[in-house]
Amino acid sequence: MRQIILIVALLFCTTNLFSQDTFKSKADEANKLLENQDYSGALAKFEEAFKIGTDDKRQLAWTASIAGICAQESGNVDKAIELYAVALKNNLADEDIINRQITLCKKKKNIAEEANTLMAAMKIMPGADYKYRKKLLYVYYNSGQFDKAIPTADTLLMAKPGDHKLMYMKASSLSKNKQVPEAIKLFEQILAEDAGYTSAYTQLGLVYYNKATSIYDNGRDHYNNLKKPTRMDYTNYRNAIKKSYTDYNKAIIYLEKSYAAKPSDFVKKALFTSYTRIENKEKAAKYAK
């Protein structure tokens, strides 16, 4: 009797095991719905498959990518980003999915995931390291992550030494990261090698302009905050102001060249302020509003 009960129990367990849904069976159901372009229905079945799970990373990656497309076609951008991230995390080397993910991340301004996507692409796409690393450089730069942009530019420059665009990106990042001496040196190197690089004239001029303005404003504000300034205080104030003249004059050299090559209101205003503060009214009048 006991043996019969045991056999029945085993048969029940075996039958139940085979009747249970699997990751693959749910994915197959989703694919059938997908044939009729039922993206929402297919996505729901894929979600059921993910809840069941699988140890097959390749299968998981491909399924996540298809589910991501379903989510994207259904207008669920956040879910698409989430699923594409799963696919890439599991080493899906598919350029279309990478491009879809980058596009959606830009649309949602999801900078962190866009950077993650590009780093994954560098790892899983053979021979595409430079291409995606350069895109990553722009992501870091445009999002103000200059501390990350600098080493990224360094790596790119190892592949293409002397590339003035990359050097410019690095110099601009150094400047915005308050590494002014290093930025000046690199901008000067660019201009020594390419005297027609207008943007480098603009940025180098602005580096000196900002440096001078900081010195000037600090000296002025310190004096204006004194309750009862003495004659000595005024002398110290004037000396502090004159320290800014050196950098204003350097700024003018580069900003003049920038303005001559490509006039802009921003550079015009910087030139007006520079000439005004070094007390050259005649030259300042040229750039007055």
Per-domain boundaries in the chain: 22-126, 196-289
Q: Model confidence over 159-182: pLDDT tens digits?
A: 999 999 999 999 999 999 999 999
Q: What is the pTM of this model?
A: 0.86
pLDDT at site 21:
81
User: Using CA atoms, how far apart are residues 268 and 183, in angstroms rounded to an integer?
Assistant: 22
Q: Could you check whether 22-126 and 196-289 share the same CATH topology?
A: yes
- Exposure of 249 in the CB half-sphere (CA atoms within 13 A): 8
What is the CB neighbour count within 10 angstroms for residue 158?
8
Of the pLDDT bands very low, low, confident and very high (cuts 50, 70, 90), residue 15 is very low
Asked if residues 277 and 216 have their Cβ atoms less than 8 Å apart, the reply is yes
**Whole-number Å distance between alpha carbons of 87 and 91:** 7
Assigned CATH topology for domain 196-289? 1.25.40
Chain segment 195-253, per-residue pLDDT in tens = 999 999 999 999 999 999 999 999 999 999 999 999 999 999 999 899 999 999 999 99
Question: How big is the CA angle at 198 (ends 274 and 158), to the nearest 5 degrees?
Answer: 120
- Do the Cβ atoms of 47 and 65 come closer than 8 Å? no
CATH class of segment(s) 22-126: mainly alpha
